């Protein structure tokens, strides 16, 4: 349901919570790149939207001028009630600035190393097949509702040591944090308090019954030779839930959405599975799901445009990935693209810490879907719906199965 005033002019009044934004994102970014490459809105206390690759990269690198405390651009409490949590922020390390950021990030690295993540492959593959089995022999299946949305939520709940049966609640949480951004802050506060209480209870349970999972890992971790504060642990769990779920769900959905409309790419991937690594990178580039936000910490400029402290920036990595100055045929999916230094996982100090896991889930999800359904197409283009806000992906995606193995 649209909660915001519909946008008439994307250059001067953009709003990422308008459903038209994610539905038409590629076209909006292309038009802005040609006419107004650093767009502005007065909404959300004022925000800028650079869409050229080099401007996005420059903001991501300049952590002095652009603070990560405002990683999600949403309606916040009024300025006099806003309590800054800098430099740690609400969900470290993504909301943390230097120097604290490096320490909060470093302690998480061992849990997401390629070796640790590779061990999850059989489990992800088993889950994908279980979801495909559950679809039975229906002619039309929803690749978002019945497939993509379940994979990352199951994996991150299992990794953290949270009950998989609470998956609906985790998706609700993601909706609260990332999609309800146009609501007044007060309307969302109850939801944040409930989440905080839920996670504190699970952390307490892990203290009483120690387990070998990510919450156990965080409880044993140290920063500056001291155990992490409980609020740091809970903030990091929120980050891993939110960063882990919506992002990969969106990537899997967008990839299937593409293949459902490009029978040639689908046939090549089925017949030439050795193309999978470049295809996955290309799908990540072309349908990058994640835009992050920054709060402007001091007066600066973006692409020659002066910007004021106190306003915000939407850092549209997905728009940067479609800049024809950097990527030839940027608007085409070239599944054997050789040079592909895309920004789907961001760049600089906050570059995605879960990229090994994201790539594993995306690859296995696509491999198993096309193995089971070597031919499929969109069942009804107009029935496809898209998420709201900074993470872009299909939320309903009916596809017609034309061949099953």
Residues in contact with ligand HEM by CB under 6 A are 60, 68, 71, 93-94, 105, 156, 239-240, 243-244, 247-248, 251, 288-290, 292, 317, 344-346, 350, 352-354, 357-358, 362
Nearer to ligand HEM, 93 or 235 (CB): 93
Q: How far is the CB of 40 from ligand HEM (least distance, A)?
A: 20
Exposure b/e, 330-366, CB count within 10 A at least 16 = b: beebbbebeeeebbbbbbebbebbbbbbbbbbbbbbb
Diameter of the chain measured on Cα atoms: 61
CA distance 303 to 356: 32
Structure tokens at 219: 């409880």
Q: E-assigned strands of 102-207? A: 140-142
Nearer to ligand HEM, 32 or 60 (CB): 60
Nearer to ligand HEM, 238 or 401 (CB): 238
Cα dihedral 171, 172, 173, 176 sign? positive
Give the residue at shortest CB distance from ligand HEM: 354
| Residue carrying the six token digits 């909660």 | 3
328 to 163, 233, 331, 372: CA distances (angstroms): 45, 43, 8, 33
Q: What is the DSSP letter of 116?
A: H
Q: How far is the CB of 216 from ligand HEM (least distance, A)?
A: 16
Q: How far is the CB of 137 from ligand HEM (least distance, A)?
A: 30
Q: How far is the CB of 200 from ligand HEM (least distance, A)?
A: 20
Q: How far is the CB of 362 from ligand HEM (least distance, A)?
A: 6
CB 38 within 8 A of CB 48: yes
Nearer to ligand HEM, 182 or 289 (CB): 289
Q: How far is the CB of 232 from ligand HEM (least distance, A)?
A: 13
Nearer to ligand HEM, 122 or 190 (CB): 122
**Rounded to the nearest 10 degrees, how much is the dihedral formed by the CA atoms of 332, 334, 338, 339?**
20
CB 216 within 8 A of CB 160: no
CB 293 within 8 A of CB 351: no
Nearer to ligand HEM, 206 or 294 (CB): 294
Q: How far is the CB of 80 from ligand HEM (least distance, A)?
A: 27
Nearer to ligand HEM, 7 or 157 (CB): 157
């Amino acid at each position: 349901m649209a909660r915001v005033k519909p946008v008439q002019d994307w250059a001067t009044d953009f709003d990422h919570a308008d459903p038209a934004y994610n539905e038409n994102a590629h076209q909006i970014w292309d038009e802005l790149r040609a006419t107004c490459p650093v767009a502005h809105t007065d909404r959300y206390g004022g925000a800028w939207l650079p869409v050229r690759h080099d401007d996005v990269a420059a903001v991501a690198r300049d952590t002095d001028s652009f603070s990560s405390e405002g990683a999600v651009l949403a309606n916040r409490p009024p300025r006099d009630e806003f309590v800054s949590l800098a430099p740690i922020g609400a969900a470290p390390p993504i909301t943390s600035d230097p120097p604290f950021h490096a320490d909060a990030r470093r302690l998480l690295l061992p849990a997401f190393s390629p070796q640790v993540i590779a061990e999850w492959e059989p489990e992800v593959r088993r889950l994908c097949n279980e979801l495909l089995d559950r679809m039975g022999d229906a002619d039309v299946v929803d690749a978002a509702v019945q497939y993509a949305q379940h994979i990352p939520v199951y994996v991150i709940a299992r990794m953290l040591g949270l009950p998989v049966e609470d998956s609906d609640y985790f998706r609700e949480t993601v909706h609260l944090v990332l999609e309800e951004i146009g609501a007044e802050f007060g309307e969302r506060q109850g939801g944040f308090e409930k989440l905080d209480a839920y996670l504190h209870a699970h952390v307490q349970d892990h203290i009483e019954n120690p387990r070998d999972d990510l919450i156990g890992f965080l409880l044993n971790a140290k920063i500056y030779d001291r155990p992490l504060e409980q609020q740091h642990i809970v903030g990091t769990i929120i980050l891993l839930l939110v960063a882990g779920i919506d992002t990969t769900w969106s990537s899997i959905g967008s990839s299937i959405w593409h293949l459902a409309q490009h029978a040639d790419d689908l046939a090549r991937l089925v017949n030439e599975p050795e193309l999978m690594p470049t295809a996955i990178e290309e799908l990540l580039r072309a349908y990058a799901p994640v835009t992050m936000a920054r709060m402007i910490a001091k007066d600066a400029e973006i692409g020659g445009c002066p910007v004021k402290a106190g306003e915000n920036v939407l850092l549209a990595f997905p728009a940067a990935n479609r800049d024809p100055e950097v990527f030839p045929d940027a608007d085409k999916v070239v599944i054997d693209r050789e040079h592909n230094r895309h920004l789907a996982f961001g760049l600089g100090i906050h570059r995605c810490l879960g990229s090994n896991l994201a790539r594993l889930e995306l690859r296995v999800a696509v491999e198993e879907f096309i193995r089971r359904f070597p031919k499929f197409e969109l069942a009804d283009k107009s029935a496809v719906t898209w998420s709201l806000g900074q993470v872009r992906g299909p939320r309903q995606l009916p596809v017609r199965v034309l061949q099953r193995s």
